Chains A and B, each alone.
Chain A
């Protein structure tokens, strides 16, 4: 289905896309990044980009476009924060303290702490596969790897999460 997003005021397609998918994408980004403000920034940026993209060309599946953008931006954001942590001026350090508050709300959940401790690629794979319930082929496409690699990531992630969460056989 080809979807055109036109800003016409009222209940346009863009608003429909936001209402239908923003919350789920926000939660997806939270699972990737481990904090809400950063996830909001990533998802809002993804919506801004999808809006720009449809003005330039047709998008067959805007939800897939959004999901892919959230995956890419989350990955970039993690990398950027690693760099920013080394080089940020004091102002950015203060901004991070606000993120810490959001961290603490989520950190109540043992699974979030465990998820943050496994490699980012494994985290992406299990979240997309089991929480977002996407087929392995779609996860592989989103991550830019083969289906076999996805299977490897999810297998190792489940084993590690089992250890971390003390799951008994």
Chain B
């Protein structure tokens, strides 16, 4: 007859299994490099914030980057528990089409409304207010606030990613282990729609840690959209080998259709510029993701 495992026996078995796991040579150096990279990212974010503030977009910038919480008031049973909004971002980094979601030359705005209650809610709604098409609501699912701290999904920005004169809205819907996942909303046939990639609502991995990084770029001459990333195949003090990949997509209505896929293996140090071109966001005024 089988019985519960004795706790001491379990502890012994586990110790046997991981007793040989030791830090790699260079682990501390790797952490120190990570600290330096993180400081540089925060400095860059601070500089961008300062530029934005001096450009006169301070309030809008704060709304975009931190999300504004508006707790429901007394007697508001059934109303959204919290709302995060965003509006045209700082002029310093804006192109003519940023936040012009309907393409009429005037800035629009968007906010996120939680459809359910509590920290475990995963149902949200993007409420888009457009100057020519009025207000539209698009439901979407995202990681709950408790799984995607501090406040669940938030709007990252709005830029014209496909060069069609109308801005797409980028929303962070999940985060964890220094990686975020972003989705995109786009105006198609006068309806704001969540963009589909490979048959599902798009989830773009952004950021990462020591061993893997992901990012994307847009605004190519033909309006192509590119995702890229790298992951460590071997990661030692003397030899670091990486798998790097780049996928190019074409916009077809609300779909991103894979056009080409490129991947290869390279040897480089983790600080090499050869890897840097497979990381980060290069898409108009969208902010770089700087994990906490």
Contacts and interface: CB of A to CB of B under 8 A. Distances in A.
Nearest to A15: B28
A106 interface: yes
Contacts of A168: 1-3
Given A45-B34, A89-B247, A167-B9, A27 B21 contact: yes
Interface of B: 1-11, 13-19, 21-24, 27-28, 30-31, 34-35, 38-39, 42, 147, 174-179, 181, 197-198, 200, 203, 205, 209-212, 214, 227-235, 243-247, 261, 263, 265, 292
B229 A89 contact: yes
Name which of B11, B19, B42, B212 has the most chain A CB atoms within 10 A of its CB: B212
Contact of B177 (A42, A126, A166): A42
Contacts of A18: 27-28, 31
Nearest to A81: B177
Nearest to B242: A95
Name A's interface SS: helix
Contact of A45 (B210, B230, B243): B210
A77 B175 CA distance: 10
A51 B230 CA distance: 25
Contacts, number: 192
The 6 closest A-B pairs by CB, nearest first: A91-B245, A76-B176, A95-B231, A169-B3, A109-B17, A41-B211
A131 to B, nearest CB: 4
A140 interface: no
Contact of B13 (A42, A109, A163): A109
- What interface size band does chain A fall in? 35 or more
A126 B11 CA distance: 9
A72 to B, nearest CB: 8
B23 A23 contact: yes
A44 interface: yes
Contacts of B246: 89, 91
A162 B23 CA distance: 31
Interface string A23-45: 10011001100001111111011
Nearest to B178: A45
A64 interface: no
A31 B34 contact: no
A79 interface: yes
Contacts of B243: 91-92, 94-95
A57 interface: no
A162 B4 contact: yes
A84 interface: yes
A145 interface: no
Contacts of A106: 17-18
Given A52-B35, A111-B10, A37 B232 contact: yes
